[in-house]
Structure 1
Amino acid sequence: MTQFKPNLIKAALISSGVAFGAMPAMAQDADKDQVDESMVEVIQVSGIRGSLQRAQAIKMDNTSIVEALSAEDIGKLPDTSIAESLARLPGVSGERRNGRTSGISVRGFNENYVGTTLNGRELLGMGDNRGVEFDLYPTEIISNILVYKTPEAGMTTQNIGGSIDLQTVKPLTAEQTMTFNGTYEKNKEDSLNPDFDNDGHRLSFNMVDQFADDTLGVALTIATMESPRQEQQFRGWGYADANPENAAEGVTVPEGTKVLGGHDSFARSAMMKRDSFATVIQWAPDDRLNVQFDGLYIDFSEDDARRGLEEGGAEWGTGAYTITGVENGLVTSGYYDGFYSVIRNDVRRQEADLKTFGLNVEYILNDNWTANADISTGSVDKLITDVESYSGVGRAGTDNRPITARSWTMTDTGVMYADHPTMGSVDLTDPSLIRLAGPQAWGAPIIGSDAQDGFVNNPEFEETLTTMRFDMEGYVDWGIFTGVEAGVIYADREKAKDNNGAYLTAPSYPGDDAIPDVLGVVPLDFVGIDGILAYDSLGLYNSGYYDATAAELVQADRLGDTYIVEEKLTTLYGKLDIDTEYEGIFIRGNVGVQVVRADQQSFGFSTSLNQAGMVNATEVSGGTDYTDVLPTLNLSAEIADNQFVRLGMAKVLSRPRMDDLRPNTQVTFSFNDNQILSDDIDNGPWGGSSGNPELKPYESNQIDLAYENYFADTGYVAVSFFFKDIKNWHRDNAVLSDFSDDYIPSLHQTSDGQAPVLFEGQKTKPLDGYEGFVRGWEIQGSLPGEMLHDALEGFGMFASATFLDGYAEAAPGTSETRIPGLSEENYSMTVFYENAGFEVRLAATKRTDYLTETRGLSLALSDATNQGGTFVDAQIGYDFSESGIESLEGLRVTLQAQNLTDEEDVQTAGTDSRQVTLHQSYGANYLLGFNYSF
């Protein structure tokens, strides 16, 4: 069996279009650069095994501990999403959001603690914070993905979780090709909403070519996508203490028993649209100069309708209920004697565009030294328009409205309703009964207590990032050190959020009216309800049908969450490459240090409500500057042929969340005269919440140790252990604060004009300085079938298991110690067969429960527990280049099935898995695709 050697590794990298400038620098000389062409045929360049070979070559060649993923062909990752592909790598797990794998956790830290780059440059996300939503980036532009688990000094995205580098092709070293991809997509479930389709498509064009005597290379990708999703969703408001007095005869309700407080359940349909344009232009007029321009533009939009019911439950919404069943501290069944159901027609549109451009100039000064200059700029604009529209049996206060009464049973998917044992049901699909008006007495001081017939959340995000970098690297002969690299990097980042919102009132107020343009009926049988009427609330809002009243007039959390954060980073770094031999063992690696100077400023508002419930706002600002020193060490020892022991040690940091850096304060003040005149801080009038513009980064000292044994060109086993000693975690704290600057004499006084006795109170804000740890084991392997038996030629398997534990100290008075994104157990396995043009693949991933975030009031993010799950995908295809049919050469056809077992997403209140607060079911997704290469 031919083993990997450095020249074969290099051949694999060249065949995949990866230039060595994209990898950590390593010593090279003319002899090492020579590739034995007689052995190049060992490295496959297409198909599943070709992808594994290239990824394994990258992994072997790196001195850091990395995971690698290589496209099977130009424009063809093995999955339809970058996030799905990443989720199969060891130590990496995916998080589904609204039916798509979008978030990524690396070694127990979600994407907010993971750096992401495109060709080595930091990449902006389209979310609320720093984390990248990986499903929004087209797979067609990617050639390789590297997950760095240990950092190097030249990387500007060192993060506690790790760093992910998305790499495009290098057109001067990639194969000439012209490729078309097309996919038809369909969800197993019929469209749940009458105005949405249940099928979509993906189309892309990829081209790589060289011109001007191979001195000019161009890679071009154009991709468009329309992808549907269907979802059945139960969302519980939470679980309150059950009232024993409401127990039916013969039923005992022990103290502390919990009962569902209410629900809003929806049938959701969505369509995500994405148009992408990417180009790489590489110019190398001679052996010394290499110039590369990268450009990426993504135009993204998603429409989704969530139509269903919002209904009060026991304790929250109605006290008229009877408990008929209790089990282990949870009310499992009962019935409500009545409430006025709110029919919700909520429609959301998200629109975003991302632009990123980069220019790199590399010049070889002489045989030993190279200078490199790089400049890049990126921007993201995102707008969310989320319309809630309420209807029901008539406006609140209307006489003789029919009451909805139901019995209920708790299940592992949430609640299941049925008819009340004695009262009749109300037909919520009857157009003659249902009126466009709020059936609950919801409102605000400026519109009236019963005038809220809907609401629109309309936040807008803008973010820019400009980076300039200059570095030099050279080859030296300093004992064990064979290379040196040093540079300076300047990054200027700004993120702004304008948290708009408005109350919506129908023109019929104070009366009600029939629903205009009923679209049909949306079934809610998954919670035991026949259905509700559907109509286009977004269309009504956009047409000016509703009267809109700005929420910032009466909601302190609007301007209280409107901010600008500016961040300027100056980084100096130096790195020495190590290449030596000790008692016959070859050792490579690097040692280096970064010195990072940070200057952060933010601008926002301090808000409070006056006695009439109106907002008072004043501008505020804050910030700080500081310096961090980050040393790194990576060593890789080849203890036997193709067997490596790797060691990594580093101090790393993740920058604070952008929303935590806002200076905004939302001040609460009690207008109770006794509290105003109290000298007891615990009973004083002041309170509030705020961001913290002086937060320092999350910090960790970490050590990594790995053993890797590469026994075949697609076969290896590896075991890794890592420990991250967290030194500066962030937690929300209630801290004693001085509110003197927030005092407004005309507002904060007693009824007879007396000023407060005290100006101190409790304010909740994020603070740093908390400690903790995360540690884990990773076991992974890849096995070609022919190593077991010749009859298994073409079969293969790769699998991994990750075991984690860890915590960060809880804030005083709280109990939350979990790390966002950490699952204690993560598994991944892919089994495939590839022979004579046929390709079959079955893949599964599993993760246990973890801490995540969900959107609550005003679309604000709040903590939630996701129960994890097992996700199974399958793919079958045929490559006609193996068919012998000349006219079909270059054609590949695939059929994919995603989420074959229809795995649900489940979130719970705390750690009690029975207290379901969110249950989402999406159905399987099927894709029929073709790939044609010239």
Structure 2
Amino acid sequence: MKKSRLFKPAMLSLAVSSAIFASQAYAQQELNPNPDEDVEVIAVKGIRGSLIRAQAVKMDNSSIVEAISAEDIGKLPDSSIAESLARLPGMAGERVGGRTSGISVRGFKEDFIGTSLNGRELIGIGDNRGVEFDLYPAEIMTGATIYKSVDASLMVQGVGGTVDLQTVRPLASQETLTLTGTLERGGNDSDNPEFDNKGHRYALSFVEKFADDTIGVALALASTESPRNERKYGVWGYGDNNGALIPFGLDTQAISRVLERDTISGIFQWRPTENWDIVVDVLDIDYSDSGVIRGFIEPFELNTASLTGSGATASGIQTNVNPVLRTDPAQKDGELQTFGLNVKYYLNDSWSVALDVAESDSSKRDLRGESYAGLARNGAALAPGDQRTRNFNMSPDGIMFSDSNGLEAFADPSLLQLTGPQPWGGGLANLADQFETDVLRADGEPYDYFNAQDGFLNFADFEEELTTVRFETFGLVDWGIVNEVNFGFRYSDRVKSKDNKGFFATASSYPDSTAIPSDYLYNGLADLTWAGLGQVVAYDGFAPYNDGEYILNDAGLLEPDRLGDTYTVEEETTTLFAKFDFETDVAGFFVTGNFGAQYVQTDQSSTGFIGVVGSNFKVCDADDDGAIDTSCITSIDDDYSHFLPSLNVNVELDEKRYVRFAASKTISRARIDQMKASGFVKFDQNINLIAIPNTPEAVDTYGTPWSKSQGNPRLRPLEANNFDLSFENYFEDEGYVSLALFYKDLVNWTRDGNQTIDFTNDPTNDGANYFIPGFHDRIVGSDGLVGPDGTEYAPGTYLTPPDLGTFSFFEDGLEGEVKGAEVTAQVPLNKVADFLEGFGLAGSATFIDGELEDGTAIPGQSDRVYSVTAYYENGGFEVRVAATDRSEFLTYQRGGSNKIDAATRDAITQVDAQISYDFADSGIQYLEGLRVSLQGQNLTDELEETRDSNGLVTLRREFGPSYLLNLNYSFY
């Protein structure tokens, strides 16, 4: 029987052997106890060397994969692994705050792909399962392999694919000591005086071998401080006003943040004898993203007589201007630690066993304060509206202001008041007695809770733990066409929790207001002139919280949806797997591949709370003791199993030309926030909703003040049947073309469920009655009331709300499909003409057609994604320009009250470039380890925009380009 491999080991570079060892640490380890022998080192550096090594990984793998490979540890060209991944075929990056953070594979957001580090499942510090790829500095990585088809030994899977990140294996790598220093400068200056646009990165990478190359140690340290300055334009939507499209309200901010990240990666490898291989991995990441969001939020009122123009092109005067100057300090702090132990023992030349144990922990606090300032507390007398004006011009790109009057206080801290200028205190209704006062507003009525919100402190704490144990056996066999087997089991235990907290803030001066204390102020003003809003006072938004100026009330006692978003989810899985590798000749063609299956048993549970307002108007605190009532606690569990078969077939048409076919069933577990046991009952205090008649017909027509929402801990995983066909032609070590077709039959996806229930007799909660006299009812005021159905109610009429409302939940059963094609080419241009030696192109195009059966889009899916990198490398000099383009896509983001909201991102094209020189062949001895590079990111200053059906911008974010000067020195 013919015994060979798709790609001969003598052609592999040392970096390739290291990458393959890391990426297949469990599934496809070589049975040779001395895997470093007979490996030829290819002395090709720079981008060409990286492309050759990545191509070798792709060519030699039995699955359909993509790969990236660094020239050496610490030498990936990007600031995080996310930017490198986003350029690969079938991949697309999603920017968060101006940095590439999320990664989609074949149209599936990172929550629906598996992510591993050296083969072990990786956790993040976010709300869900998806990993924030910008958390991982490029300096600690040697590469990554992306599995688009799976085999039975791949434990970390997803319906979109698997991304396996790789760190160095010291006994399979060259010894090195490398220092890296990077200076960063943002293309946009900071609009906030307490921040600038300068940052830096420092890194040390060390690999050493001891005791006759039986002990290896690798250490990577990386520290990053990276600025981000953003200009955000937003509106509350547009409405038709006398033929012109005018915004309902404004949301314009100058945002400055600084990413601080400190990373330690350590690997210890020991081969005490030829039969043992022991590897210990440790990774520690401390992460902070802090800054300020400062700007105006306000309703918009038009002076109708001033209006000229129509549609999206108009001009006029805004009147009765009374903006809220929001100063929102933001602080996101997280840490992640992973520890792994892998022990492999070679029983003989044919059989080996391996044990892998890993523990990961992460925690994060995402905090955002709100501090309000304005002309005066809402309800106080102000100058007439026609003395508080701004001129404006409307266009499809939004609204621009000029020539304001009566707003001078926003640039004068002695005049600006630390108070809430708008009556946004409705959430304090349950504490109405606390804010009763004899002080009268300008309308002659006393100040009350509506006037009492001067800020808000909003934060969520996340914790996650993951423990995995894996034991397996590898063997070379002679079972007909089967030549290698791998079978074993894996156990994992994951626990993730979220604690959603918030506090209403009221200034100590209530019901009066005072100027902003001088010790809160920064030197200089914040700049909003780019929006026509002038310069505004800049002060420390945390200061009134830290010194006790704000009186705080726990929003958890007032907002049932906050307690209903606090939960713990636990999953235990046990997986049995077996994989069989084969090779044979069929009709003269050499055929290799594997088949196998996984059996996965899952036990999942969630503990949480049903947030409900009680008779004392507090949430789940009937006895006023500050503890959550036991009646609000809920716990739900379930168990199930899956059988996941897989097949990979590779046909060698002739030398270096292959057809690959793969078929598999894969799962991605449901989103964590959808699996929570928690839920809540909410009630809208709007009297017009309370006046809706108590009939099903009226509720269907006019709505209802009642709503209920709850997660579903019984959700099954998202499930797909996958089919892949790929043709690959490797015409030289640095060049190939491929065409891949894929089809995913989505047989289970989570969908939104809705049910009409009686809120006075809830069938989903043991017949609970949520109606509270004195809280959910109303007395019609002295002016009377006309209900939404036209019914007239005389003063003093007693109103109760309708009984019916909507219960929203999540359920299984949604189906769909995804069809796609990927075209990839990597071409050294000397194949076209000899004088183009050193020039090359690497590009791909991905086309996807897919949706769920209810017509909704799949999160992360762009219908088209293009990526191209043009490069030149010669004599140590290198230039590369990379561009990526993706069409619009659905995603989700952190919304109000720390919950998850859907969002649509516009199409984006991003261009990066790098120029570098490696002194290795310069002939200057003391500079031979030095490489200098200048990098530019987002060079075209690509905006993130969302437009409405009229083509008007509703949200625009501008981040500007960034520039990095990098010095990399290898001592050996």
The residue that corresponds to 2:663 in the other structure is 649
The equivalences for 1:139-178 within 5 A come to 139-178=138-177
Q: Give me the whole-angstrom Cα distance separating, in 2, the residues matched to 1:308 and 1:673.
A: 35
Q: How far 1:717 sits from its partner (Å)?
A: 0.4
Deviations, residues 795-838 of structure 1 (Å, cap 9, x unaligned): 1110111111110122xxxxx61111111111111111111111
CA contact (8 A) 1:402 1:426 kept: no
The equivalences for 1:496-645 within 5 A come to 496-516=497-517, 517-519=520-522, 520-610=524-614, 614-616=618-620, 618-645=632-659
Matching residue within 256, 260, 268 for 1:281: 268
Q: Give me the whole-angstrom Cα distance separating, in 2, the residues matched to 1:281 and 1:913.
A: 60
CA contact (8 A) 2:494 2:572 kept: yes
1:362 aligns with 2:344: yes
The residue that corresponds to 1:326 in the other structure is 310
1:182 aligns with 2:172: no
1:102 aligns with 2:101: yes
Deviations, residues 72-91 of structure 1 (Å, cap 9, x unaligned): 22211121111110011000
Cα distance change, pair 453–880 in 1 and its aligned pair in 2 (3 A): same
Matching residue within 792, 810, 815 for 2:836: 792
Q: Return the letter of the residue paired with 2:175.
A: Q
The residue that corresponds to 2:966 in the other structure is 929
Q: How far 1:854 sits from its partner (Å)?
A: 3.1
Q: How far 1:859 sits from its partner (Å)?
A: 3.0
Deviates further, 304-313 or 538-547: 538-547
Matching residue within 658, 661, 679 for 1:665: 679
Cα distance change, pair 547–852 in 1 and its aligned pair in 2 (3 A): same
Q: How far 1:402 sits from its partner (Å)?
A: 6.1
The residue that corresponds to 1:917 in the other structure is 954
CA contact (8 A) 1:864 1:908 kept: no
- What percent of counterpart residues are identical? 45
The residue that corresponds to 2:482 in the other structure is 481
Q: Return the letter of the residue paired with 1:416.
A: M
Cα distance change, pair 751–798 in 1 and its aligned pair in 2 (3 A): closer
Q: Give me the whole-angstrom Cα distance separating, in 1, the residues matched to 2:220 and 2:560.
A: 46
1:297 aligns with 2:281: no
Unaligned runs of 5+ in 1: 811-815
The residue that corresponds to 1:414 in the other structure is 398
1:431 aligns with 2:431: no
The residue that corresponds to 2:794 in the other structure is none
Cα distance change, pair 876–757 in 1 and its aligned pair in 2 (3 A): closer
Unaligned runs of 5+ in 2: 436-448, 621-628, 779-797
Q: Give me the whole-angstrom Cα distance separating, in 1, the residues matched to 2:839 and 2:112.
A: 37
Deviates further, 615-624 or 881-890: 615-624
1:695 aligns with 2:715: yes
The equivalences for 1:632-781 within 5 A come to 632-668=646-682, 687-737=707-757, 739-740=762-763, 741=765, 747-748=771-772, 761-781=805-825
Q: Give me the whole-angstrom Cα distance separating, in 2, the residues matched to 1:855 and 1:324.
A: 38
1:869 aligns with 2:908: yes
Q: How far 1:686 sits from its partner (Å)?
A: 5.4
The equivalences for 1:244-323 within 5 A come to 246-247=241-242, 252=243, 259-313=246-300
Q: How far 1:230 sits from its partner (Å)?
A: 0.8
CA contact (8 A) 1:200 1:226 kept: yes
TM-score w.r.t. structure 1 length? 0.92
Any idea what SS the aligned residue of 2:300 has?
strand
Q: How far 1:609 sits from its partner (Å)?
A: 2.9
Deviations, residues 419-468 of structure 1 (Å, cap 9, x unaligned): 47xx6654521223211101111211225221111111111111110111
Over the residues paired in the alignment, what is the CA RMSD in angstroms? Answer: 2.8
Cα distance change, pair 746–865 in 1 and its aligned pair in 2 (3 A): closer
Deviations, residues 373-404 of structure 1 (Å, cap 9, x unaligned): 11101011101221111001011111134644
Cα distance change, pair 290–840 in 1 and its aligned pair in 2 (3 A): same
Deviations, residues 606-647 of structure 1 (Å, cap 9, x unaligned): 112357753236111212111111111111111111011111
Q: How far 1:855 sits from its partner (Å)?
A: 2.9
1:209 aligns with 2:208: yes
Deviations, residues 880-919 of structure 1 (Å, cap 9, x unaligned): 111100111101111111111111111244xx37242321
Q: Give me the whole-angstrom Cα distance separating, in 2, the residues matched to 1:725 and 1:349.
A: 41
The residue that corresponds to 2:10 in the other structure is 8
Cα distance change, pair 412–900 in 1 and its aligned pair in 2 (3 A): farther
Deviations, residues 200-227 of structure 1 (Å, cap 9, x unaligned): 1100111001111111111101111100
CA contact (8 A) 1:16 1:45 kept: no
The residue that corresponds to 2:792 in the other structure is none
CA contact (8 A) 1:567 1:599 kept: yes
Q: Give me the whole-angstrom Cα distance separating, in 2, the residues matched to 1:124 and 1:21.
A: 17
Q: How far 1:876 sits from its partner (Å)?
A: 0.8
CA contact (8 A) 1:13 1:57 kept: no
Q: Give me the whole-angstrom Cα distance separating, in 2, the residues matched to 1:27 and 1:562.
A: 43
Q: Give me the whole-angstrom Cα distance separating, in 2, the residues matched to 1:295 and 1:928.
A: 30
CA contact (8 A) 2:116 2:165 kept: yes
CA contact (8 A) 2:840 2:872 kept: yes
Aligned length: 902
The residue that corresponds to 1:813 in the other structure is none
The residue that corresponds to 2:493 in the other structure is 492
Any idea what SS the aligned residue of 1:202 has?
strand
Any idea what SS the aligned residue of 2:663 has?
strand
1:821 aligns with 2:865: no
CA contact (8 A) 2:393 2:400 kept: yes
Deviations, residues 204-258 of structure 1 (Å, cap 9, x unaligned): 111001111111111101111100011111122234x42xxx42xxxx46xxxx6
Cα distance change, pair 459–291 in 1 and its aligned pair in 2 (3 A): same
1:387 aligns with 2:369: yes
Deviates further, 346-355 or 586-595: 586-595
Q: Give me the whole-angstrom Cα distance separating, in 1, the residues matched to 2:571 and 2:340.
A: 20
The equivalences for 1:30-41 within 5 A come to 40=40
CA contact (8 A) 1:9 1:61 kept: no
Q: How far 1:417 sits from its partner (Å)?
A: 2.0
CA contact (8 A) 2:144 2:164 kept: yes
Deviations, residues 693-734 of structure 1 (Å, cap 9, x unaligned): 111111111101110100111100011110111111112221
Cα distance change, pair 412–105 in 1 and its aligned pair in 2 (3 A): farther
Q: Give me the whole-angstrom Cα distance separating, in 1, the residues matched to 2:683 and 2:362.
A: 37
Any idea what SS the aligned residue of 1:928 has?
strand
The equivalences for 1:14-29 within 5 A come to 16=18, 18-19=20-21, 22=24, 25=27
CA contact (8 A) 2:376 2:417 kept: yes
The equivalences for 1:40-119 within 5 A come to 40=40, 43-119=42-118
CA contact (8 A) 2:489 2:574 kept: yes
Q: Give me the whole-angstrom Cα distance separating, in 2, the residues matched to 1:699 and 1:319.
A: 56
Cα distance change, pair 27–580 in 1 and its aligned pair in 2 (3 A): farther
Q: Give me the whole-angstrom Cα distance separating, in 2, the residues matched to 1:853 and 1:482.
A: 46
Q: Return the letter of the residue paired with 1:800.
A: S
Q: Return the letter of the residue paired with 2:964.
A: L
Q: Return the letter of the residue paired with 1:437.
A: T
Any idea what SS the aligned residue of 1:55 has?
helix
